[in-house]
Amino acid sequence: MPQGHYLGLTFPDPHLSLDAASGHWRTGEIDWSEFKRVLAGDGPCNRQRMHTRKTAHADGAWVREAALAYAAKRGKHAMNPAHAAE
């Protein structure tokens, strides 16, 4: 927690406090319904993350196509003894 405070972060737990006796940070109850909802894909950044993933996949299509074309070409060469050593 001290590192987060040093960086200027805020924590959304109103019950967050330092236990002076133990030196440990104490937190409030976890909202398990929210936790399960986020794990199911309904988190605050899920749509952005999925959009970024789909865009990256689409943008990389040419690499996959080129790799398949190269593999197919190399496969044809491997069948031809004159090119087997390449």
In the prediction, which pLDDT does 83 show? Answer: 53
The average pLDDT across 3-16 equals: 90
Contact 31, 38 (CB under 8 A): no
Token representation of residue 33: 């319904």
Residue range 41-81, pLDDT digits in tens: 888 888 899 999 999 999 999 999 999 999 999 887 655 55
Closest CA to 16 of 35, 32, 2, 37: 2
What is the residue-averaged pLDDT of the chain?
87
Mean pLDDT, range 22-29, rounded to an integer: 92
pTM over 0.95: no
Q: Residue 85 pLDDT > 60, yes or no?
A: no
Reported as a pLDDT band with limits 50, 70 and 90, residue 20 is very high
